[in-house]
Structure 1
Amino acid sequence: MRQEVTDVNKTPLHAWHVEQQARMVDFAGWDMPIQYTSIGEEHQAVRQRAGLFDIAHMGRLFFSGPDAARLLDSLLTNDVSKLKDGQIRYALVCNKHGGVLDDVLVYRFADEYLLVVNASNRQKIVEWIDGHRSGFEADVTDATTERFMMALQGPASIDVLSPHVDLDLAGMKYYTAVQTPVAGAEAIVSRTGYTGEDGFEVIVPNAAAVWVWGELIASGKEVNLKPCGLGCRDTLRLEAAMPLYGHELDETIDPLTAGLGFAVKLDAGEFIGRDALLGLREQPTGKRRVGLELDGRRIAREGATLHIGETEIGHVTSGTFSPTLEKAIAMAYVSADHAAEGTGVEIDIRGKRVAAKIVPLPFYRR
C-alpha cells in the first residue's frame, strides 16, 4: 500500500490557491495555503459564517476484508467492533509504551473502514500498519493522493452544502458519515471538523475536486463564505482545545495524561499499548494538560516554561492570541499538584515573566 511521495506534494486545488494569491508553505511535505487574507479575518468567518479549507494533505487509508475491524482494533485505543455503519470515532494509535504515534478518526461503512491520519504521520502510520498486519486477512489502501478532502466549517455550513446534496444535513448526527453524491460527484460526507464549529468534511475523487470546490465557493457567496488556510485552522482548534500532534501529542505523551481517556477503551480488548495504559491508569504520570489565559497580548509559544515562584511546574505546548476571546491563550502540561483552575502562574516568554492563570478547557464552546 505504499505510495511514492514527491519532494513537495500539491493538492488538486494548488493552482486555485496560487491564483487567489494565498500564502503557500511546505507543511508535512505538501505545498499548502496558510492564509488568503488574514488569519483573523478567516478565523472570524468560520466562527460567524462559514469557511472552506483544503485538507487534502490529511492521510486517508481504507481497510477492507474479513479481518479489517480486528486489525484496526489491534492498533487503535477505541473500540472499532462497536461501530455501526456510518459512525465515526476518535482514537489514538499508541506504541507499546502507551506513547501516541498519532490521533486519528476511524469511519465505518458497510463494506470498508476509513482511517484519517495526520499528514505529518502518514508514512509512519502506514509503516506501523505494515509491521503489525501479519495474521489478519485485510486489505489496506492508501488513497491520500487519489482523493481530495475539504472541510466546510461554520454555523452557515448547512446552507452552503445543502443545495449540492440529496440529504437532510440538519438531521445528520455529529461524528457520522454517508456515501452520497456532492454536486454530482461521488463523495463521502461527514459531520466532523477541527475548528470547534459545526461543519462537514467532504472527500471526492481528484478529478471532481476543482468542480466541487468551485460549487461550494459559489453557493457560499450568499453567506460571505471565505476560503481559509491552515493558519486559522490552528487558532480555531486551539480555542476549542483540540490537541495537535507534535505539540500536545507525541510519542512521549500518553492519551490519559493528555486528557483523552474518552477515546481509550481499556476493557474492550487487546491493542498495542494497552498494558502500559492500564499501568498508567493506576499510576498516572503526575502531569495534566491545562488551559492558560495570559495577562496582556504577548503570545506564549511552544516550549515556554511555567513557574510558581522559583519552581518550574510545566511547559507550554501551543499558544496564540485568540481572535474570538481577544485574549492570549495557551495549552500546557503542568504538574498535577499545580493544575487547579484559577491557579496563578508565570510564563517565561523570551526571558521575561508574564502572569497567567489556569482556566478550564475548552476556551471556546459553540
Structure 2
Amino acid sequence: MSSSASHPLRHTALDAVHRSLGATMTDFAGWDMPLRYGSEREEHLAVRTKAGLFDLSHMGEITVTGPQAAALLDHALVGNIGAVRAGRARYTMICQADGGILDDLIVYRLAETEYLVVANASNAQVVLDALTERAAGFDAEVRDDRDAYALLAVQGPESPGILAALTDADLSGLKYYAGLPGTVAGVPALIARTGYTGEDGFELFVKPEHAVELWRALTEAGEAAGLVPCGLSCRDTLRLEAGMPLYGNELTAQLTPFDAGLGRVVKFEKEGDFVGREALAAAAERAASKPPRVLVGLVAEGRRVPRAGYPVVADGAVIGEVTSGAPSPTLGKPIAMAYVDAAHAAPGTEGVGVDIRGTHEPYEIVTLPFYKRRK
C-alpha cells in the first residue's frame, strides 16, 4: 500500500527480513513498518519477561557538528545540551516560539563538537527544518542523516546478556541514557542504553548495509533466552504501560511541556536565550498556580477499551479526554492515559468514567506509570 501515488512508502534495510518472518506491515509516518509478526500480546510479554528485537529505522537521525554545535542546540532546544558530557544522552524537546511542543527528542553527545539528534519519524522533517533555520548565525552544521543509519533495539531483562555475547563493549559500565561506539557481531555501532518500553535495553545505530547481518546475529544470540521479533503494536502498549508520552497523543503543538507534566525538561538556568523561553516561563507560572489539566492514568473496571479522543466524564460533565488507550497485557485489563481537569486528577477520585460510544464505563484514576520494572 502506498501513502500516495507521488510518495511511495519508504522501506527500511530490514524490509525483506520482516516479510520473510510473515510480518503484518503498516504505513507509519510514510514508512512501511512491521506492526506485528504473530501475537501482539506474546511480543509484549516477551519484552517484559525475556527480550524483544525491534526495527526502529524509521526514526529521524540528524547530526549537528561544529565549534558551536552545543550553543546551537542550547538555543534551539529547551534542554541544557551543552552540559551533557560526551558519551551521554538527554531526553529533551524542541518547542515553537509560543511554547508548543514540535517534538520530543533524544540527543546523544558523540564528541566535543558532534551530536546526534533523534526525532520521531512523523516529525523528522519538521525538526530538521527547525534546526536548520535556527542554525543561522551559529558556526555549526545540521545534517540530515536519516539514510545514514539503521536502528535496531533489543529490549527486555535478557537484553544485556544477549548483547554481551556479541560485543566486547563494557555494557555493565554503560549507564541508562549513555551511548558508546563499539562493535556488535563485527558491525561498527553506536550502542545506547535507551529505549521506549520501560525495560532495560539497548538501541544500536548502524549503517543500513549492516542491518541484516546484525538482526540475524542478535536473533541467533537471543534464541536460547527467548528473544522474539517485535512490531510497533507492542511497542505502543509497552510505552503506554510505562507511562511514556507519544507525540501526537500526549504531546502536541497545542501543549507546552508544562501542560504535559514534563516541565522538568525545560532548563531556564542555561546560558543564553532559547526559542520559546518567554512563552515557557509564562506556562511555568500558570502550571505552578493552577494547572488546567493533568495527565493521569486510567484503569478499567470492565473490559471495554478506551481510545484516543474519547471523553472522560464525571457527574455527567466532560472533565477530560483520553490520549492513548489499549488492553494492558501486564495488568490484564484496559488502561489509558488522559488529560483531566485538575479537580478530578487525584488518584482514587470517585465517579470517573470514559464515554465509550454513549456508555459511561467506570475507570479508576491512578498515578503514572502503570508499570515500573524492578531494578
TM-score by length of 1: 0.97
What is the identity, as a one-letter code, of the residue corresponding to 1:85?
A
Aligned equivalents of 1:278, 1:364: Cα separation in 2: 32
Task: Map residues 134-283 of structure 1 onto 2, 5 A cutoff.
Answer: 134-269=136-271, 270-283=273-286
C-alpha separation in 1, matches of 2:274 and 2:304: 42
Opposite residue 99 of structure 1, the aligned amino acid is G
List alignment gaps of at least 5 residues for structure 1.
none
CA distance in 1, matches of 2:227, 2:335: 26
For 1:212 and 1:262, the matched residues in 2 are separated by 36
Give CA deviations for 1:140-183 in whole Å, capped at 9, x if unaligned: 11111221001100000011111211122122110000011111
Deviates more, 1:315-324 or 1:131-140: 131-140
Report the AA paired with residue 195 of structure 1.
Answer: T
- The residue type paired with residue 71 of structure 2 is R
**Aligned counterparts of 2:148 and 2:107: Cα–Cα separation in 1:** 19
Instruction: Give the counterpart of 1:317 among 314, 318, 323.
Output: 323
1:281-316: CA deviation from partner (whole Å, max 9, x where unpaired): 111251111111111111100011011112211000
Q: Deviations over 1:3-25 (max 9, x none)?
A: xx952110000000001110001
Q: Give 1:353's match in structure 2, choosing from 341, 360, 375.
A: 360
CA RMSD, 1 decimal: 1.1
The CA deviation at 1:130 is 2.0
Q: Hey, what's the Cα distance between the residues in 1 that align with 2:226 and 2:167?
A: 20
Q: What are the within-5 Å matches in structure 2 for residues 52-201 of structure 1? A: 52-110=53-111, 111-201=113-203
Residue identity opposite 2:310 in structure 1: A
CA distance in 2 between counterparts of 1:140 and 1:128 reads: 10
Aligned counterparts of 1:85 and 1:358: Cα–Cα separation in 2: 41
**Partner SS, residue 196 of structure 2:** coil
Q: Which runs of 5+ in 2 are unaligned?
A: 1-5
Matched residue type, 1:114: L
- Distance in 2 (CA, whole Å) between partners of 1:262 and 1:161 is 32
How many angstroms apart in 2 are the aligned matches of 1:170 and 1:155? 13
| SS across alignment from 2:278 | helix
What secondary structure is seen at the aligned counterpart in 2 of 1:283? helix
Distance 2:124 2:263 in 1: 23
Residue deviations 1:165-221 (CA, integer Å, cap 9, x gap): 112212211000001111111110000000000000001011111011110000000
Letter in 1 for 2:65: S
SS in 2 for 1:340: coil
Give the structure 2 partner of residue 288 of structure 1: 294
Q: 1:330 matched to which residue of 2?
A: 336
Paired letter, 1:197: E
Kindly provide the amino acid, as one letter, of the partner of residue 7 in structure 1: P
Segment drifting more, 23-32 vs 308-317: 308-317
Aligned-partner Cα distance in 2 for 1:298–1:75: 42
CA–CA separation in structure 2 for the residues paired with 1:15 and 1:365:
35
Contact 2:169–2:183 (CA under 8 A) maintained in structure 1: no
- TM-score, with normalisation over the residues of structure 2? 0.95
- Could you tell me how far apart the structure 2 residues matched to 1:327 and 1:87 are? 37
Indicate conservation of the 8 Å contact 2:48/2:157, yes or no.
yes
Per-residue Cα deviation, 1:242-286 (whole angstroms, up to 9, x for no partner): 000000001001111111122111222421111111101111251
Q: What is the distance in 2 between the residues matched to 1:354 and 1:62?
A: 47
- Aligned mates of 1:188, 1:243 — CA distance in 2: 25
Contact 2:327 2:335 in 1 (8 A): yes
Q: In the aligned structure 1, how far is the partner of 2:194 from the partner of 2:211?
A: 19
Distance 1:209 1:166 in 2: 19
- Matched AA of 2:216: G
Q: Deviations over 1:47-88 (max 9, x none)?
A: 000000000000001111011111111111110010111110
Give the fraction of aligned pairs with identical amino acids, expressed as a percent: 49
In structure 1, C-alpha distance between the alignment counterparts of 2:246 and 2:296, rounded to whole Å: 14
**Whole-Å separation in 2 of the counterparts to 1:273 and 1:281:** 12
CA distance in 2, matches of 1:353, 1:72: 46
